[in-house]
Chain A
C-alpha cells in the first residue's frame, strides 16, 4: 500500500487519461454501441486494476485475495459486456 510518489502520480494520471478516453468514446457515435461498450468496460477494468495494484497495494496481498479481486474485475467486465452484446439492438 506504500508506493513511491512517482508511482502514485503515474497511477492517478493513468486513471484520469482512461476516464477522459471513456467519456470521449461514449460521446462519439462512429464506432457502434457494441464496440463502444466493450471499450469503456475494458477501460473500467483497467482502472480497477490500477486502483487495486497501485493504491490498495494488491501485489502484496495473499494469493487468495489477489485471485479474488482479479476474478471480481474479470467477472464484472464479462457479465456487463456479455449481457450488452446479447441484448437486442
Chain B
C-alpha cells in the first residue's frame, strides 16, 4: 500500500466516530429508585430484628416455624419467580415494539400475582384455624407482619401493573410508556427479590 493511501486509511480509522458507550442508568425514573431503596432497607431492618429476636428464643421460634405450611410457601416462591420472568419478557417485548405481546406478558404477571395472593390468604386462614394469630407469639407476630407487608406490596404491584396495562392499551406506544413500564417492572422484581429472603428466613432456616 502506498504511503499516502496507508496514511489516509489510518487517519480514517482513528477519526471514525465510535458507537456511543452505554451510559450507566437506572431503568424507569431515577427518583422511583429512592423508594425502592427505602423499601429494601425497611425489609433489611425487619430481617435484622427478626434474626436478633430469634437468637434469644431459638427453640421457641423453631418450634413455631414447624407449624407453618411450607408447601404453600414453596409453591408461592415458584409462582413469584415465574411472574418476575414473565414481567421481564414483557419489558423486552415492549422495547421491540411488540405491545400486544407485552400486554399478554403483563396479564400473565398479574394473574400469577393473584395466585400468590390467594395462596397467601389461604395460608393465613389455615394458620388462624390452627390457633396462630399475630397476638399468639413473637414468631407469629413477625410472620404476619413481614408476610403481610410483603402482601400489601404485591397487591400494590398488581394494581400498578393493571394500570400500566390499561395505559398501554389506550396508547400502544413504547416511548410514551417506557418510564411507567420500567418502574412497574422494577417494583415487581423488588417484590420477588424481597420474597427470596422472606421465605427461607421464616420457613426454612433453623
Contact = CB atoms under 8 A, between A and B. Distances in A.
Given A56-B27, A84-B54, A47 B196 contact: yes
A68 B81 CA distance: 22
A5 B105 CA distance: 13
Interface range on chain B (Cβ under 8 Å from partner): 35 or more
Interface string A1-26: 11111001101100110010011001
A76 B24 contact: no
A15 B204 CA distance: 17
Q: Is the interface of A mostly helix, strand, loop or mixed?
A: helix
Interface residues of A, number: 49
A86 B24 contact: no
Q: Is the interface of B mostly helix, strand, loop or mixed?
A: helix
A80 B197 contact: yes
B200 A43 contact: yes
B18 to A, nearest CB: 18
Given A11-B85, A55-B87, 6 more contacts: A1-B186, A2-B92, A12-B81, A48-B193, A55-B85, A62-B26
Interface of A: 1-5, 8-9, 11-12, 15-16, 19, 22-23, 26, 33, 36-37, 40-41, 43-44, 47-48, 51-52, 54-57, 60-63, 65, 68-69, 72, 75-76, 79-80, 82-84, 86-89
